[in-house]
Amino acid sequence: MIRMKVVVTGGSGRLGGHVIRDLLEHGHEALSLDRVAPQTKLCPSWLADLTTYGDIYQALKGAQGIIHLGAYQAPNLASDSETFSNNVTATYNVIKVASELEVKKVIVASSTAAFGFLYA
């Protein structure tokens, strides 16, 4: 098996923690990238705002894979315009930096919350 360095955006969240545990159990190196510190430190973590291009560029250097989970995950967590601005800008920045750094494996996750359903 090839060991990969994988950056998990939203690594401090519930799903992010499960993804990081799975990566580590399968022998990969993980880096958590989030705006808040994890409650349980499973791997190295960087605090960053994904809507700020410069914040994520350095964190993604050397990554061989990215799993993008970092987003406002539920309606009413923030205003509609703030949620849209945050989630679209964050996803754009992650994909743009991944392209510039020639990261070949990028996973972008979403949920029914993208359609406005609260934990459907």
Architecture of domain 5-115: 3-Layer(aba) Sandwich (3.40)
Residues 6+ apart with CB under 8 A from 81: none
Do the beta carbons of residue 96 and residue 53 sit within 8 Å? yes
Strands (E), 2-58: 5-9, 29-34, 45-47
Domain positions in the chain are: 5-115
Q: What is the pLDDT along the chain (120 residues), one digit of tens a residue?
A: 789 999 999 999 999 999 999 999 999 999 999 999 999 999 999 999 999 998 889 999 999 999 999 988 766 778 878 888 888 999 999 999 999 999 999 999 987 666 665 554
Q: What is the pTM of this model?
A: 0.90
Report the pLDDT value the prediction gives residue 114, as an integer from 0 to 100: 64
